Amino acid sequence: MSQPLLLTERLTKNYGSFRALADLNLSVSPGEVVGLLGPNGSGKSTALRLLLGFLRPTSGRAAIGGFDCWRQSVEARKRVAYLPGELRLYDTMTGRRLVTFLAKLRGDAPGPEVDALAKRLDIDIDRPLTHLSSGMKRKVALLAVLVPKVPLIILDEPTNTLDPTMRDELIDQLRAARGRGQAVLFSSHVLQEVEAVCDRVVVLRRGELVHVQEMSELREGRAVSARLVGPPPTAGPDGSPLAPDAVAGGRLRLTFRGPLPALLDWLARQPLADLVVEAPGLTPIYKKFHG
């Protein structure tokens, strides 16, 4: 793996006696999409604000492209495009003027990609923002974030107020950014979005990192749920004893990681009345820490 573009080391933020973020160690490499999971109050927004230099860490450090996010915040932010969870836009501007204004702050001049992306997002960027709905404003903000080809994109709940079609379009755009070598860090409450695009997921709870999940490992597994009409099996598809809670109330539930033919062959020999085999997804992991 390449050198991390974003790196935090024991990053901590206290508000008086309240610890909002504790000893966060996190890295994001170029061409990697990382998801931040956790309910409100878990430390996600605090972590993002520390990365952007909006907050001074109590201890530890964060760096983007080798630049300290607090002491060298201007240099660090030059390498970031950021979408906040709560938008505050210049409503008197049109979408085009806003995108151009923000690009010029970076020393860039947006080209024809603005109109091409605006078409994909289905927005009229020549209308004043004050005439747009909250969903349309969100799409204009996404446009302003996706146009610059900066090394790192940071998104805080990016699909708020977006309809399902536009959520799918955003996922496609994040995949395209990854293909260009850009890194993406985003928080979301929608597990399906995280599953669809992330390479790695970080779970926060009460300000602490409690789990890191490589999505490639998760996608290799199969969650099995079946109703039994005969004696339950004592061993699983790999020959090892089943967990004590694998069979309850006449139902079999297990997660299998291995070749699919071996699983199907084992299932064919079981007394099943119905069967569901699917990718396990993030839901069981999330509920383990945030039931």
Is residue 62 within 8 A of residue 6, CB to CB? The reply is yes
Is residue 130 within 8 A of residue 175, CB to CB? The reply is no
Adjacent-strand bridge partners of 34: 185, 200
Q: Name the nearest CA neighbour of 254 among 275, 268, 282, 231.
A: 275
3-state DSSP call for residue 209? strand
Q: How far apart are CA 121 and CA 140, in angstroms?
A: 9
- Token pair, residue 67, equals 């630049």
Is residue 195 within 8 A of residue 282, CB to CB? The reply is yes
Cα atoms in the 13 Å half-sphere on the side-chain side of 32: 19
Sheet holding 33-37, edge to edge: 80-83, 152-156, 183-187, 33-37, 200-205, 208-214
Predicted pLDDT at 227: 94
- Token pair, residue 208, equals 């602490």
Predicted pLDDT at 2: 65
pLDDT tens digits, the chain, 291 residues: what are they?
Answer: 568 999 999 999 999 999 999 999 999 999 999 999 999 889 999 999 999 999 999 999 999 999 999 999 999 999 999 999 888 899 899 999 999 999 888 888 888 899 999 999 999 999 999 999 988 999 999 999 999 889 999 999 898 888 889 999 999 999 999 999 999 999 988 888 899 999 999 999 999 999 999 998 888 888 899 999 999 998 999 889 998 889 999 999 998 888 889 999 999 999 999 999 988 888 888 888 887
Q: How far apart are CA 86 and CA 104, in angstroms?
A: 23
